[in-house]
Chain A
Amino acid sequence: MNFWDILWNMRNGLFTTVSIFFLTLIISLPLGLLVCFGRMSRIKPVAAFFGFFISVMRGTPLMLQLFVVYFLPFYAFGIKLKFMGENWLFISVVIGFSVNYSAYFAEIYRSGINSVPEGQREAAKALGLTRGRTFFAIILPQVLRNILPAVTNEIITLVKDTSLAFAIGQAEMFTAAKRLASKEVSMLPYAAAALIYYAFNLAVAYVMSRIEKRTRRYAVR
């Protein structure tokens, strides 16, 4: 079995990995903003609740959280898992990843929002802009620029973290590599998997650096 055969054999796993990755990003980036709003709420109990949520998400293993989400319908609502449909495993993995990453992104957003000088908000206010417009047109673009490096780090971690879905039985790329490795009695499938994760991350780093470059023209001196 040569290298290309191995890649071909892992295509389904790779597709699952890529799906988990993009779905998690699409859901957790905006969800993180909502969590961040909760965390920064002026209503104390709301802020405290989201603070607690974030600390639990960051303070317990992601793998454990995946199990919790997967078994939640049964333990919380008594629904047998076989009634959850054949896609439940995949869906629960995406939910688990998204919720977990939303906590990390929320903290990144929060530090980003705090890094925008108060004077920006005041200038917007003095010009009669509404609070919503102030946030979305004035504050958020500056936040996004400030947090790009941190977001890049998180995304790269996500690429690698997708392999955790293996633990709960979701057949993704790492699962495919393991299966192939034992069948072929070879380390080559692992090497191929490592290479794919690495190439994936190179692509992520490239895309993010392009975005960073585009925002540099208005960097604050």
Chain B
Amino acid sequence: MAFLEVKGLKKSYKDFTALNGISFSVEKGEVAAVIGSSGAGKTTLLRCLDFLENADGGEIILDGKTLTEGGPLSEREAREKRLGFGLVFQSFNLFPHFTVKKNVVYSAIKRAKEDIAVSGKGIKALKEKRKKLAEKKAEINAEADALLGKFGLSEKADAYPASLSGGQQQRAAIARAMILRPKILLFDEPTSALDPALTGEIVNVIKDLKSDGATMLIVTHDMAFAEKVSDKIIFVSDGKVVEEGRTEEIFSAPKTEELKNFINSF
């Protein structure tokens, strides 16, 4: 079974069908690009994978676990399940009142606090808990420093997002998503909010992540970008997968008329 399996995912808004039974799979360590014209349902797909929306039907299986079991999820269940996914938003959505470093560490520290359960009562247990948390915090901070270093943001750790360039903000957003060690990174249009000159930068970032073994699902309608970074292409149209295959094959020999037209329109 593939690392990520999506089977017949459906999502409708009122009477509009955004996802009409999407199925595809991504292997571990693979970079998959979801391409398709505007309104095809690409963002909706990512939002359903990350449980920001509850899909109306279908299955999401990540690393052998079926996440969609048992109908619509409660807020609490969704909170647990979405942690397998690290979503990097199209407009990054960094928290403007946190420094870059705090943006990165915040969720992990809060998570550590929740995880360190109160074992027993009294001063001793409390001290134990404090110690554990301090250790965990130091770990998280070290990990954040490593991530920021990797993305060339060490100097910006104490800066606020507003003072960062678009590319820097994006890398901070990637670091923020990675601190929780998601199994798969999801990117929504990573080139769209950037200067065209900066797309080379994000290509390198993604290639770096890939060589570290990260699995990624990247939504884009930048064909040149998809060709550069992806191992496989998932072509979506009207909420359905029309064609799926290795990147070289898809670009050199598209099978469907629809994909041919789409590629030729660039």
Contact = CB atoms under 8 A, between A and B. Distances in A.
Interface of A: 117, 119-120, 122-131, 133, 137-138, 141-142, 145, 215, 217-221
Interface string B9-52: 00000000000000000000000000000000000000000101
Interface string B169-184: 0000000110010000
Contacts of A133: 110
Given A129-B110, A218-B161, 5 more contacts: A123-B93, A128-B80, A218-B98, A220-B96, A220-B162
A147 to B, nearest CB: 14
Contacts of A128: 79-80, 82-83, 107, 111, 180
Contacts of A124: 95
B75 A131 contact: yes
A66 to B, nearest CB: 38
Contacts of B85: 126
B225 interface: no
Interface residues of B, number: 27
Interface string B73-107: 00100011011010101010111111000000011
Nearest to B91: A119
Contact of B97 (A126, A130, A141): A141
15 contacts: A119-B89, A119-B91, A122-B52, A123-B94, A123-B95, A126-B82, A129-B110, A138-B95, A142-B96, A142-B97, A217-B160, A218-B96, A218-B161, A219-B96, A220-B96
Contacts of A130: 79
Nearest to A215: B97
B162 to A, nearest CB: 5
A142 B96 CA distance: 8
A123 B89 contact: yes
B83 A145 contact: no
A129 B107 contact: yes
Contacts of A120: 93, 95
A215 B83 CA distance: 32
Contacts of B107: 127-129
Contacts of B75: 131
B93 A119 contact: yes
A128 to B, nearest CB: 5
Nearest to B161: A218
A117 B96 CA distance: 11
Contact of B52 (A117, A126, A215, A221): A126
The interface centre, meaning the residue of B82, B87, B97, B161 with most chain A CB atoms within 10 A of its CB, is B97
Contacts of B160: 217-218
Contacts of B83: 128
A137 B94 CA distance: 13
The interface centre, meaning the residue of A119, A125, A127, A137 with most chain B CB atoms within 10 A of its CB, is A127
Nearest to B99: A218
A124 B94 CA distance: 9
Contacts of B110: 129, 133
A126 B50 contact: yes
